[in-house]
Amino acid sequence: MKKTLLLTKTLLLIFILTSCISEPIEEVIEDIPTTCDETFDDKIITFCDDFLARDNSNDNGVDITKWAFQTGDGSQYGIPGWGNNEAQYYREDNAFVEDGLLNIQLKNEAYGGKNYTSARLWTNNIFSQTYGRFEARIKLPLGDGLWPAFWLLPDNTTYGTWAANGEIDIMEARGRVPNEASGAIHYGGVWPNNVYSSQTYTFPMGQSIQDFHEYAIEWTENKIQWFINDELYYETSDWYSENGDYPAPFNTDFYIILNLAVGGVFDGNILPDPAIFNLPVLMQVDYVRVFQYFV
């Protein structure tokens, strides 16, 4: 929506300028505020990517000062199948920026011993934060076995390893269930003694995960709230870590992950019909922003 309004204002400005003055249009357009330039009375932006800037980008337009890539099938991290029996091999080439959108593309191709490739971006060692608002505007693909996610993991092992040190899932979805998305936290003990809490959101009639929606959490010392399009649908203050006092484990810095998986235990290890790959299978991200509230 913000980029649509920006485009409309830009076109109007171009019309006015070309009608009235000969000043170079490009210099004026650069001054128009973007999603990352907004200011607020109660909070400050601490991280933002609206995928418009071309500075510091890799060959596919991804800003490498804001994002890094996790590649492979998880074996490199000691978790083959990414710990969930996932069927994809992550490659940097499967993420690209086009027309102001980050695209994460799932491909039906054999690579690295897997039958699918995709991409997984993270901000570990680049950006992490404790508390605040984390949000992203995302459009998701449909299809059996597709598992897109926008989530957070801790950048430390203060309370041990997963999931005693926590996980916050801002958004997960199943591509075969277009009218639902969910949020969750994982906590408790180190696997397999971990537990989780979650809630599912059902979109209003006529909407689906295939539309752009803003997925967000607001995270404070003793509460995490989940929003879709600013509608609160879940909140909890009930968690623990076996290795620390409350509000552990959700009182340390967490970093951001964006990925599109396929298969895996989240949806019963099902796989997509090959016909869905007749068109590009894309998870598209309009922007990602993080805020810290003023005290």
Residues 219, 274, single domain; the answer is yes
How, if at all, do strands 116-118 and 88-90 pair? parallel
| 266 shares a domain with 173 | yes
pLDDT at 31: 53
**Residues 14, 85 within the same domain:** no
Q: Which residue has the tokens 């998870």?
A: 283
Output the domain CATH number for residue 206. Answer: 2.60.120.200
Determine how many CB atoms are found less than 10 A away from the CB of residue 62.
22
167 is catalytic: yes
Which residues lie across from 86 on neighbouring strands? 263
Nearest-angstrom CA–CA distance, 292 and 203? 28
125 and 157 share one domain: yes
Residues 75, 202 within the same domain: yes
Torsion of CA 75, 77, 83, 89, to 10 degrees: -50
Could you give the 3-state DSSP secondary structure of residue 82? helix
Asked if 164 contacts 190 with a C-beta cutoff of 8 angstroms, the reply is yes
pLDDT at 32: 58
Closest of 256, 219, 230 to residue 121, by C-alpha: 256
Is the same domain home to 169 and 286? yes
Q: Is 30 noted as a catalytic residue in this protein?
A: no
Three-state DSSP class for residue 162: coil
- Same domain flag for 141 and 7: no
The pLDDT value recorded for residue 55 is 85
pLDDT of 3: 57
Closest C-alpha to 64, from 37, 97, 105: 97
Task: Pick the catalytic residue from 92, 172, 214, 218.
Answer: 172
Same domain? For 234 and 269 the reply is yes
**Claim to verify: residue 157 and residue 208 sit in the same structural domain:** yes
Residues 135 and 258 grouped into a single domain:
yes
| Residue 89 and residue 150 in one domain | yes
Asked whether residue 60 falls in the same domain as residue 142, the answer is yes
Q: Which string of b and e fits 39-48 if b means at least 16 CB within 10 Å?
A: eeeeeebebb
Q: Which of 86, 167, 214, 218 is catalytic?
A: 167
Q: How many CB atoms lie within 10 A of CB 235?
A: 15
Q: Which residues contact 106 (CB under 8 A, 6 or more apart)?
A: 88, 94, 116, 117, 118, 141, 146, 260, 262, 281, 282, 283
Amino acid at 219: W
- Residues lower than pLDDT 70 in the chain: 1-33
What's the first-to-final CA gap in the chain, in angstroms? 30
C-alpha 50/C-alpha 233 separation (Å) is 25
* CA 188/CA 238 separation, integer angstroms: 11
Per this entry, what is the length of the chain?
295
How many structural domains compose the chain? 2
The pLDDT, as a whole number, for residue 295 is 84
CA count, 13 A, side-chain hemisphere, 191 = 9
Q: Which residue segment(s) compose the domain that 216 sits in?
A: 39-293
